Amino acid sequence: MSAPADPFRQARTENGVLRCPFQGEAIPMILRHEDVRRAAKDWQTYSSDAPFRVPIPSEEQDRTMRQLPIETNPPEHTDYREIVEPIFRRPKEPAVIAQVEALIARLLGEALARPSIEAVHEFALPLQSRALACLLNVPETEAEIWIGWGTHVFHDGGGPTKGGALEAYLHGAFDRAAASPGEDFFSVLTRAQFRGRPLTREEMMGFGNLAFAGGRDTIIYTVASVLHYLGENPAALDYLRAEPARAVHAAEEFFRVFMPLTHIGRVCPVETKVHGETVPPGGRVSLGWASANRDAAVFPAPDEIRLDRKPNPHLAFGFGAHLCLGAAHARLLVRTLLQLCAARLARIEIIEARERVERNPAYQRPVGFEALVLRLVPR
């Protein structure tokens, strides 16, 4: 099957950069796989030490603290990252894997018992939120609060009020952890040391903000896109069912193609030339993950979805020092979802599909679904 149309092909082939207007700023997006990887490693030229400006559009109106560790450079980034890496390695532990498998099996069972489900808000959103509770080692009941925030903690339903709800929740969680510490994410941060001193509350909040905002809509829309693909391609279920280990490579291909995060920002400390484009001091460029993942110089037949594609050096989780902390978690979720769908479903019937489209004067690309109504048919 072909992937959705690639809106960056022509610009990537011709000059490797595309100027994209955002919030009054014309940001050059770096498009080619090799160029994106090189820029991602060059933090001196393309800096992440830019509070609120790493996401595109920027988030000054959505939150009040720097996200950690993503909005810092090495060596500060390295030291911050070490604090939370043990939490984000949890998806490789057998007990956490079993917990996620049980969660997805339960959600599929509930969906099979219904005549239809709206897969974005009634399946992918609860899956993301409850799996996050597994990752952070907190009671699953906490996820009911997070589900109420919608698909994006800042942008689903109205601006910075959502960020306010998140920040109020985080303050409460850190207060409770300080008073009665355990082994959860919040307690780890209340005990953590950064270069010989305790973390400040602002630093704790920066870690918490990223943990809840950073991988939320991306996982939700990837899960919905995977379910839609399986509905359109019933033979894929047969393929995965024949050998469950095939889900590993299939998941990587879905990450390559169904990437909700088009790009991420970097700030140039000094005037910089980017493929002939001049970026002024303090100006931004973007690393075009989605474009790099469709680069024909790296991926044969890049517009084809090949569930057995290997090698598959996609950049869906970034590259270099800022490689996504949540990559193991996302891989566990999608791999397990594929295996359990193949084992339990005869087919998925698509009743309604309404795409979510990212629109910019320079490009348009589908990035998941606003609504996706499905009927899951058991084996």
| CA distances for 259 relative to 91, 208, 376, angstroms | 21, 23, 24
Residue 287, sorted as left (phi over 0), alpha (psi -120 to 50) or beta, turns out to be beta
Please state whether the peptide bond connecting residue 75 to the residue before it is cis, i.e. omega within 30 degrees of 0. Answer: yes
Instruction: Read off the pLDDT band of 1 (50, 70, 90).
Output: confident
Q: Which 3 state secondary structure label does DSSP give 156?
A: coil
Question: Which pair of structure tokens corresponds to residue 202?
Answer: 């602002």
- Residues whose CB falls within 8 Å of the CB of residue 229, separated by 6 or more in sequence, listed in order: 1, 236, 254, 258, 305
Instruction: Read off the pLDDT band of 3 (50, 70, 90).
Output: confident
Q: Using one digit for the tens of pLDDT, what is the confidence trace for 202-238?
A: 999 999 999 999 989 999 999 999 999 999 999 999 9
Q: Is the pLDDT of residue 66 over 60?
A: yes
Q: Is the pLDDT of residue 22 over 60?
A: yes
Q: In a 10 Å sphere around its CB, with 0-12 CB exposed, 13-18 middle and 19+ buried, how is residue 44 labelled?
A: exposed
- Residues whose CB falls within 8 Å of the CB of residue 175, separated by 6 or more in sequence, listed in order: none
Q: Distance between CA 66 and CA 208 in Å, rounded?
A: 10
Q: What pTM was computed for the model?
A: 0.96
Q: Using one digit for the tens of pLDDT, what is the confidence trace for 119-169?
A: 999 999 999 999 999 999 999 999 999 999 999 888 654 444 445 789 999
Question: Please, what is the Cα angle at 355 between 352 and 303, to 5 degrees?
Answer: 115
Question: Quick one: which of 19, 10, 21 has its CA closest to 274?
Answer: 19
Q: Distance between CA 243 and CA 338 in Å, rounded?
A: 11
Q: Distance between CA 282 and CA 273 in Å, rounded?
A: 13
Residue 24, sorted as left (phi over 0), alpha (psi -120 to 50) or beta, turns out to be left
User: Which pLDDT score is estimated for 252?
Assistant: 98
On whether residue 3 sits in a domain, the answer given is no
Residue entry with tokens 């949890």: 90
How many C-beta atoms surround the C-beta of residue 321 within 10 A?
17
Instruction: Give the pLDDT mean for 241-265.
Output: 97
User: Which pLDDT score is estimated for 158?
Assistant: 45
Domain that holds residue 91: 9-378
Q: Distance between CA 88 and CA 335 in Å, rounded?
A: 17
On whether residue 200 sits in a domain, the answer given is yes
Instruction: Give the pLDDT mean for 234-256.
Output: 98
On whether residue 33 sits in a domain, the answer given is yes
On whether residue 2 sits in a domain, the answer given is no
Q: Domain with 135 in it: what CATH number?
A: 1.10.630.10
Instruction: Provide the number of structural domains found in the chain.
Output: 1
